[in-house]
Amino acid sequence: MAIANKFKLKLPRPRRHVRGVRRFIMFSTLTRMIFLANLLGLIILITGALTLNQFSRSLIDAKIDNLHSQTRMIANLLGGQATGGGAAATLDEDEARRILARIDVPDKARIRLYDRNAVLVADSDQLDDRVEIGTLAPITTNTPTVEPKTAWWIKLQDRSDEWVNNWRVFRNYRKQQQRFLERDIKNALLGETVSGEQYEGRNLIVSVAMPVKRVADIQGAVVFETHDVDAILASQRRGLTPIILIAILASILSSLALTLFIALPVRRLARAAEQVVRSSDKRDIIPDLSDRRDEIGDLSVVMREMTSGLYNRIDDIAKFAADVAHEIKNPLTSLRSASETLRGSKTKERRNKLIDIIQKDVARMDRLITDISKASRMDAALAKEKAQPLDVHKFLGDMVDFYTQTREEAAVDVVLTTAKDADNPVMIPALENSLGQVMRNLIDNALTFSPENDAPSNKTASVRSARSVRLAYQKGAGDADGTAFITIDDDGVGIEKNDLEAIFRRFYTQRPKGTAFGNHSGLGLAICRQIMDAHGGTITASNRTDAAGKTTGARFTLALPLQTVEKENPKHKNINK
């Protein structure tokens, strides 16, 4: 046993899953998605700003082309005017300096001339003889020097540029493009033109080195360079910095707004739903956001309706179970009493009577269980079926034919009193089988309460009382427009005023005298209302009265929505007809 305990494996306990609604709002997946979605546009903007690299490439190429053309012009000018006039060409250094001194060199640009021995002959920085004239500032004493203030976004841009330039990839690139002026001069003296971007430390220089020729004889080399590319690119980036900062601020504000108006309401709904799951006393805790008039408002309305429907269903199930237990308990009690009494019965007549009671109770229980099973399966059956357009006249005519063929001659007649209108049929979307069950329940109920037609008293008599169950239908008008009404009338004793609504409750029975015991469970009208609710319709009960106010029978009215028929577009009508 000790060895077994020694080598017993200790498995780690599974971690408890943390519910999403307990998570901090800023760590919510929805919040992250909102921020990422908004930052995506910002990233695109910043990426566009970084395409200034492409702009810098274009600027450098343009600078190289410009310097190349200017350097060629200067080299041609020097080769034509500063190399002497005899047969033996030599570089006249004094003339070359005078020519370079007359050239207007832009700021941050420099021109240098070297002879064939790579010795500096002239430099535009040393030949500039311009004199700036202006008014001197007044002489003051002990005046503190005030440096001009630099905008904060310019400082931010300068720091970001310095930070980016310190990246290894840029350091390596500058190291590879470091300038070797002696090499460029040597190549130019060999007859090559050297041009491109180069770096002196961290400063970008665009330069062109070109030979100075007299015909084909190389007399020297001229180098034209400029240092203004970095300044141009920096000014471009500084112009974009405020825009990028505004875009960042707008993205953050937009994300916060979406979080407040989307993530937080969804979080409230999730927390409320969690509380509803944990406690049945908080069925009304789902917040009402219908005033938003958007999808989240619709979601809150649907969740409230769904929660109310679920709890109503739970209450109905609990009530139904209690009613079932009560209804089954009555025949069980009767069975127990009859069976106990049967053991002590001494006469055959007594035993037969008790056996008859037992059979009736068993039949009643069988009827109850059958109807309870139908009622419990009704919701599933209604959910599986699909409503189809139904012609009300044909549907009621088939019901009348069914009862006409199956009932005896002396029984109550079932008739359809509404004439068919072929030009304006009444169509409804319905589940034919389920609606047929409603009609059968109502007609059977009406037949139960209707007195049968009187048979002739003798052979010479040919007239009997005309009692019937009458079916009728019509379209609604006014406020009831778009609704079809079906009525079932009988000639019975009617319904008590207090029972007009109670008859639709489960297990409610109020049968006429003489009805066979155990043939009715009190679920028929309850099932009818359940089916009508699934159709989006209603069922009501009322009494018919004559001119004197006397009840002449009962009336059940079904209200169902009419089938919406789209009118045929004449433009799409088949021309082959």
| Full 3-state SS string of 500-524 | CCHHHCCCCCCCCCCCCCCCCCCCH
User: What superfamily in CATH does domain 385-452+467-566 come from?
Assistant: Histidine kinase-like ATPase, C-terminal domain (3.30.565.10)
Dist CA 302 CA 553 (whole Å): 42
Dist CA 353 CA 355 (whole Å): 5
Dist CA 425 CA 137 (whole Å): 104
pLDDT for 457 equals 41
Residue 291: beta bridge partners? none
User: Does residue 558 sit in helix, strand or coil?
Assistant: strand
pLDDT for 556 equals 92
Among 446, 466, 416, 452, CA closest to 541: 446
pLDDT for 14 equals 44
Residue 121: beta bridge partners? none
Dist CA 209 CA 28 (whole Å): 61
- Percent helix, strand and coil across the chain, each rounded to 5? 55, 15, 30
Domains of the chain by residue range: 21-45+240-278, 51-125+153-227, 293-383, 385-452+467-566
What is the second-level CATH architecture of the domain 293-383? Orthogonal Bundle (1.10)
pLDDT for 35 equals 74
Cβ distance 287 to 299 under 8 Å? no
What type of residue sits at position 423? D
Among 448, 404, 429, 438, CA closest to 531: 438
> Torsion angle of alpha carbons 306, 309, 311, 313, nearest 10°?
-140
User: Does residue 207 sit in helix, strand or coil?
Assistant: strand
What is the second-level CATH architecture of the domain 51-125+153-227? 2-Layer Sandwich (3.30)
CA angle 318, 321, 322 (to 5 degrees): 90
Residues 6+ apart with CB under 8 A from 123: 110, 111, 112, 113
Predicted confidence pLDDT, tens digits, the chain (577 residues): 444 444 444 444 444 444 444 445 555 666 777 777 777 766 766 666 655 555 677 778 888 888 889 889 988 888 888 776 666 678 888 888 888 888 888 888 889 999 888 888 888 887 765 555 667 666 665 655 555 666 666 676 667 667 766 778 777 877 888 888 888 889 888 889 888 888 887 788 888 999 988 877 888 899 999 888 877 777 777 767 777 777 778 778 877 877 777 778 888 888 888 887 777 666 677 888 878 777 788 888 888 888 887 887 777 777 777 767 766 777 788 778 888 787 777 788 888 888 888 887 787 777 777 767 766 666 666 666 778 889 999 999 998 988 888 766 556 788 999 888 888 889 998 888 888 888 888 888 888 877 765 544 444 444 444 578 899 999 888 777 889 999 999 888 888 888 888 888 776 666 555 444 445 556 778 888 888 888 888 999 999 888 888 888 889 999 999 987 554 444 444 434 3
Cβ distance 534 to 398 under 8 Å? no
What are the distances in angstroms from CA 477 to CA 484, 485, 487, 554, 555?
A: 10, 11, 16, 23, 20
What are the distances in angstroms from CA 44 to CA 41, 165, 370?
A: 5, 22, 68
| Strand order from edge to edge, sheet including 120-123 | 120-123, 109-115, 217-226, 203-214, 194-200
Beta strands in 124-216 (DSSP E): 194-200, 203-214
